[in-house]
Chain A
Amino acid sequence: MLQSRVTRLGRTALIGIAGALAVSLAGCESERDTGDGDRNETEPFVFGVPTDARTLDPIFTTDGETFRVTRQIYDTLLDHEPGGKEIVGGLAEDWESSDDGLEWTFQLREGVTFHDGEELDGEAVCANFERWHNFEGAYQDTNFTYYWQNMFGGFAENEEDVDTEEKFRSCTADGLTVTIEVAEPSANYPGAFSMATFGIVSPGSLEQIEDDEITSADSAFPDYTQEAGVLAGTGPFKISEWDHGSQEITLERFDDYWGDNAKVKTLIFKTISEETARRQALEAGDIHGYDLAAPGDVEPLKENGFQVPTRDVFNILYLAFQQETTPEFADLEVRQAMAHAVDRQRIVDTILPEGGEVASQFMPPTVDGWSEDVTTYDYDPELAEEMIADAGVDGLTVDFCYVTDTSRPYMPAVRDIFEIISSDLEEVGLSIDPKPMEWDQYIPATNSGKCSLYLLGWTGDFNEGYNFLGTWFDRPSDEWGFENEEIFDLLSEIDRTPDPDERAAKLAEANEVIMDFLPGLPISSSPPAIAFAPDVEPMDVSPLTQEVFADVSFAEE
């Protein structure tokens, strides 16, 4: 009797579970069912990103994932051509600088409307620049205003502990004309005006947030930066919701956009921190695209019909030779020997995604100022071995630091790259002492010159060679541990040269001098891979990873 009761109970339970499953599956199905209408109007385009945005006020961050979102909402004075690296007009349709590079005049577009209905004019642009220039207190911390300080210097009144020199002088508006005056010319202009961190918000928004200040010095963003709908921009999308719990940001098409309207009505940025989980979500149809695909996933994705368009390269990975930590590296012959020892082509062929290439200098060929005439160091292990023996450093043990817990767009599969270089260097007579480190240890160790050899790199902010070379070689530093006045002076001169053509010529010369001196070995440039579902019409992919999501759409069936 008990048995029959258990059986009955079991059957009822089974039916219940099956019912619940059926309901949930049906529910999932109904949620995915998008009906027969135009998918661009009815279905959100979901893009998987590795981390959530940090703030909706882009001035406060340096984080690429925040910029991916804010770039769709706020326009900048200048921009980059879709899918390219050339600077083109953004909110300004025309711009020029004075001969001395101290005055930048922008002619704004007519008829540009903010998401809150206000019209764009010069006053609105200046209100933004004046706000940034007048930041006080905790806003002056580098973690809030890093880019402002790097590009436009200090503030109207620097706090006691801020010693950044003021570069921004004034912003003057006359109707649709804006003139920005700076204290000294810099190679960072006009590129800086295209940076997403300097996105323009409406004067009405600025009034609304006037009293909302950062009150503590421990990195809290003001509340308004965490809520949708407070700041209004002029971009093709306006933000409609930010669900912090689900790490999901929803944008809606702005119908009064000054350019071509966005093709999809709703755009969602959804955080999936794990690389494999992003790929699986794309394969399962839960998202329609994602960035930073692992190089090893690219071919399998393509074979299964997914689209992985190749970006042009815009970054550099290098192997640094720290000359102070390892005095033997001060001998040029040793540095040249190491350059000949490393088989960079093998790294490109076996580790990097399609489109990767061996680097001949400390900037990618896509950047103005790249030189064809630099000294090159071909893979020649016999020559390298000979040179090492000649220099008397055969058997020298050197620390080689590499990072274990993260990868960078310029440095995918770090460990594999480290292993190839290590074995190449050991092959020619050096002895490598591997120093694996987490990113958090790695940066202080490389910054303070504790590593004889290490791998690092840079992705350009905009198409300006100084943004690459100046990052490393405009001053003596513990990262490299060398003194070379010729290089330092040349780069300071480049920074003060306002004419872009003249600057490019000097950058080419700097590249040649640097590659003769060989402070490190440029390894490769590598395009970070972006993937889309088969039924998507992708936008033009950007070497600067500045994709315009207004141009993405679902393919017509």
Chain B
Amino acid sequence: MFRYIVKRLLQLIPALFGLSILLFFWLRLLPGGPENTLLPDDASAQQREALRESLGLNEPIIVQYGLFLERLGNFDFGNSLQTGRPVMDEFTTRFPATAELAIAAMLIAVCVGIPLGYFAARKRGSFLDSSAVAGSLLGICIPVFFLAAMLKVVFAEKLGWLPSAFRLDAGARFTEITGFRVLDSVLTGEFDVTASALGHLILPGLALSSIPLAVITRMTRASVLEVLGQDYVRTAESKGLQPTVVRTRHVLRNAMLPVITAIGLLTGSLLAGAVLTESVFAFGGIGSFIYESTQQRDYPAILGFLMLIAIIYVVVNLLVDLSYTLFDPRVRVR
């Protein structure tokens, strides 16, 4: 197992190297450069050119890439041009927000999607089944930003039940340990902050969960349907096993493998793809930062963030792969 993990992590190196080449050269193909947003509207062409020069953007691109790699060797992604802070600091201050939001969305999707998919399959053709199928179709079709805006209008503006933005109310004081507000406040016993952080997670979490929820529901349903038709289920039932045992140990457990794969892939995409939800709810995670960095041609920030996300994506998928062994004893890692 240990060798397997090390091997998988070592595979990251060529993947990251390839990604860095692609990103580095693609980014430079974008028209414009950071000098246009770093200086005021009245800056002259000469002043903008001088800034390009001082940022080293006029060096041959191979030289720039070489310098980038040299820094990367020390795990230094350089400094964000828009904030003037190290890219790594920007990432570590923003990542907990995105991760917390992704976890909330995934929890909603898993806790609702798996039971819903399971019961829809069990009661195939029932009202529950058709509602689940129609609902999941709707979940995939409704654009996230639209759903987010609607949830905000109804539950924050009209009903006033939930906050419309942020991770906590502005000015709320708490003790920060990891940057994960829910976890930190539980660790320090500041339970009013825990409640507030959870309250702030509900609407963005719901909005962001729409697609994973739909996918998980449909996959669970399809997978359970397939397993229900398998010989071993019939055998288990005919030899008189308790229905609960059949359903949990034989059906659900076997049906979970494709669902787990989907969860792994969806979690990865949630980490990178929460841009709209983060913007609508002013959540301040990495998605909105990458968007702003792209607008401003903040090369170091875009490169650093995307590479760090790639690392996290690989690690999440590795964990998912490892979790297969819990569900299917036939899967053994080597």
A216 contacts which chain B residues (CB < 8 A)? 79
Is A522 at the interface (CB under 8 A from chain B)?
no
B280, A277: Cβ atoms under 8 Å?
Answer: yes
A62 contacts which chain B residues (CB < 8 A)? 39-40
B165, A286: Cβ atoms under 8 Å?
Answer: yes
What 1/0 mask marks residues of chain B from 291 to 302 whose CB sits below 8 Å from any chain A CB?
A: 010011100100
B160, A458: Cβ atoms under 8 Å?
Answer: no
Is B323 at the interface (CB under 8 A from chain A)?
no
Q: How far is the CB of A53 from chain B (nearest CB, A)?
A: 9
B32, A27: Cβ atoms under 8 Å?
Answer: no
Q: A146-B47, A268-B170 are in contact. Are A244 and B85 (CB under 8 A)?
A: yes
Separation of A245 and B48 alpha carbons in the complex (Å): 30
Q: A219-B55, A273-B282 are in contact. Are A284 and B41 (CB under 8 A)?
A: no
B31 contacts which chain A residues (CB < 8 A)? 438, 440-441, 444
B38 contacts which chain A residues (CB < 8 A)? 143, 219
B40 contacts which chain A residues (CB < 8 A)? 62, 146
What 1/0 mask marks residues of chain A from 7 to 48 whose CB sits below 8 Å from any chain B CB?
A: 000000000000011011111101110000000000010100
Closest A residue to B200 by CB, please name it.
A28
A438, B32: Cβ atoms under 8 Å?
Answer: yes
Total of A-B residue pairs, C-beta within 8 Å: 217
Separation of A142 and B50 alpha carbons in the complex (Å): 8
Separation of A267 and B164 alpha carbons in the complex (Å): 20
Q: In chain A between 324 and 351, which residues have their CB closer than 8 angstroms to a CB of chain B?
A: none
Taking a contact as CB atoms closer than 8 A, the residue among A2, A60, A143, A408 that contacts B41 in the complex is: A408
B81, A218: Cβ atoms under 8 Å?
Answer: yes
Taking a contact as CB atoms closer than 8 A, the residue among B51, B80, B169, B297 that contacts A143 in the complex is: B51
Separation of A307 and B194 alpha carbons in the complex (Å): 34
A287 contacts which chain B residues (CB < 8 A)? 170
A263 contacts which chain B residues (CB < 8 A)? none
Closest B residue to A285 by CB, please name it.
B160
A219, B79: Cβ atoms under 8 Å?
Answer: yes
Is B128 at the interface (CB under 8 A from chain A)?
no
B32 contacts which chain A residues (CB < 8 A)? 438-441, 443-444
Q: A146-B47, A245-B94, A247-B284 are in contact. Are A27 and B199 (CB under 8 A)?
A: yes
B54 contacts which chain A residues (CB < 8 A)? 138, 141-143, 161, 217
A273 contacts which chain B residues (CB < 8 A)? 279, 282, 288, 292
Is B221 at the interface (CB under 8 A from chain A)?
no
B101 contacts which chain A residues (CB < 8 A)? none
B282 contacts which chain A residues (CB < 8 A)? 270-274, 277, 281
Most chain A CB neighbours (cut-off 10 Å) among B33, B162, B163, B288? B163
Which of B12-20, B133-141, B149-157, B261-269 binds A?
B149-157
A277, B37: Cβ atoms under 8 Å?
Answer: no
Separation of A221 and B295 alpha carbons in the complex (Å): 21
Is A250 at the interface (CB under 8 A from chain B)?
yes
A217 contacts which chain B residues (CB < 8 A)? 54-56
Closest A residue to B96 by CB, please name it.
A245
Q: How far is the CB of A157 from chain B (nearest CB, A)?
A: 17
Is B226 at the interface (CB under 8 A from chain A)?
no
B172, A31: Cβ atoms under 8 Å?
Answer: yes
B163, A28: Cβ atoms under 8 Å?
Answer: yes
Taking a contact as CB atoms closer than 8 A, the residue among B78, B193, B295 that contacts A405 in the complex is: B295
What 1/0 mask marks residues of chain A from 198 to 223 whose CB sits below 8 Å from any chain B CB?
A: 00000000000000000011111100
Is A248 at the interface (CB under 8 A from chain B)?
yes
Most chain B CB neighbours (cut-off 10 Å) among A245, A443, A471, A478? A245
A31, B196: Cβ atoms under 8 Å?
Answer: yes
Is B106 at the interface (CB under 8 A from chain A)?
no
B53 contacts which chain A residues (CB < 8 A)? 161
Q: How far is the CB of B196 from chain A (nearest CB, A)?
A: 4
B43 contacts which chain A residues (CB < 8 A)? 142, 146
Q: How far is the CB of A247 from chain B (nearest CB, A)?
A: 5
B195, A142: Cβ atoms under 8 Å?
Answer: no
Separation of A26 and B168 alpha carbons in the complex (Å): 14
Q: How far is the CB of A135 from chain B (nearest CB, A)?
A: 14
What 1/0 mask marks residues of chain A from 490 to 514 whose CB sits below 8 Å from any chain B CB?
A: 0000000000000000000000000
B195, A26: Cβ atoms under 8 Å?
Answer: yes
Q: A2-B244, A28-B169 are in contact. Are A142 and B156 (CB under 8 A)?
A: no
Taking a contact as CB atoms closer than 8 A, the residue among B93, B96, B149, B196 that contacts A28 in the complex is: B196
Separation of A121 and B170 alpha carbons in the complex (Å): 37
A266 contacts which chain B residues (CB < 8 A)? 171
Separation of A535 and B211 alpha carbons in the complex (Å): 40
Q: In chain B between 74 and 93, which residues have their CB closer than 8 angstroms to a CB of chain A?
A: 78-86, 89-90, 93
Taking a contact as CB atoms closer than 8 A, the residue among A21, A226, A284 that contacts B157 in the complex is: A284
Is A399 at the interface (CB under 8 A from chain B)?
no
Q: A27-B199, A31-B169, A440-B31 are in contact. Are A2 and B243 (CB under 8 A)?
A: yes
Separation of A247 and B83 alpha carbons in the complex (Å): 11
Taking a contact as CB atoms closer than 8 A, the residue among A20, A32, A244, A439 that contacts B169 in the complex is: A32
Closest B residue to A223 by CB, please name it.
B85
B83 contacts which chain A residues (CB < 8 A)? 52, 54, 221, 244
Closest A residue to B84 by CB, please name it.
A221
Separation of A460 and B237 alpha carbons in the complex (Å): 81
Q: A161-B54, A245-B284, A248-B170 are in contact. Are A24 and B244 (CB under 8 A)?
A: no
A44 contacts which chain B residues (CB < 8 A)? 170-171
A246, B284: Cβ atoms under 8 Å?
Answer: yes
Q: In chain B between 193 and 224, which residues have their CB closer than 8 angstroms to a CB of chain A?
A: 193-196, 198-200, 202
Q: How far is the CB of B16 from chain A (nearest CB, A)?
A: 21
A138 contacts which chain B residues (CB < 8 A)? 54
A444, B36: Cβ atoms under 8 Å?
Answer: yes
Is A322 at the interface (CB under 8 A from chain B)?
no
Q: How far is the CB of B55 from chain A (nearest CB, A)?
A: 6
B78 contacts which chain A residues (CB < 8 A)? 218
What 1/0 mask marks residues of chain A from 401 to 439 whose CB sits below 8 Å from any chain B CB?
A: 000011010000000000000000000000000000011
B79, A218: Cβ atoms under 8 Å?
Answer: yes
B196 contacts which chain A residues (CB < 8 A)? 24, 27-28, 31
A277, B279: Cβ atoms under 8 Å?
Answer: yes
Q: How far is the CB of B284 from chain A (nearest CB, A)?
A: 5
Is A397 at the interface (CB under 8 A from chain B)?
no
Q: How far is the CB of B303 from chain A (nearest CB, A)?
A: 12
Q: A221-B84, A245-B94 are in contact. Are A142 and B280 (CB under 8 A)?
A: no
B97 contacts which chain A residues (CB < 8 A)? 245
Q: In chain A between 54 and 99, which residues have their CB closer than 8 angstroms to a CB of chain B?
A: 54-55, 60, 62
Taking a contact as CB atoms closer than 8 A, the residue among A32, A143, A268, A277 that contacts B165 in the complex is: A277
Is A134 at the interface (CB under 8 A from chain B)?
no
Q: A23-B195, A138-B54, A440-B297 are in contact. Are A245 and B179 (CB under 8 A)?
A: yes
B166, A276: Cβ atoms under 8 Å?
Answer: no
Is A448 at the interface (CB under 8 A from chain B)?
yes
Q: A24-B195, A270-B166, A438-B32 are in contact. Are A471 and B42 (CB under 8 A)?
A: yes
Closest A residue to B199 by CB, please name it.
A24
B84, A219: Cβ atoms under 8 Å?
Answer: yes
Is A308 at the interface (CB under 8 A from chain B)?
no
Taking a contact as CB atoms closer than 8 A, the residue among A2, A28, A55, A274 that contacts B162 in the complex is: A28
A25 contacts which chain B residues (CB < 8 A)? 161-162, 195, 199
Is B45 at the interface (CB under 8 A from chain A)?
yes
B244 contacts which chain A residues (CB < 8 A)? 2, 5
Is A170 at the interface (CB under 8 A from chain B)?
no
For the complex of A and B, the 6 pairs showing the least CB-CB separation, nearest first, are: A27-B195, A440-B32, A221-B84, A284-B164, A24-B199, A220-B79
15 A-B pairs (CB sep. < 8 Å)? A28-B196, A30-B192, A51-B292, A146-B43, A219-B79, A219-B84, A245-B94, A266-B171, A274-B279, A277-B165, A281-B166, A439-B36, A439-B295, A440-B32, A477-B44
Q: Apart from A24-B196, A244-B90, A286-B169, what are 16 other A-B pairs with CB-CB below 8 Å?
A: A26-B195, A142-B43, A217-B55, A220-B86, A221-B84, A244-B93, A246-B166, A246-B167, A281-B164, A284-B160, A285-B160, A440-B296, A457-B41, A458-B41, A471-B42, A478-B45
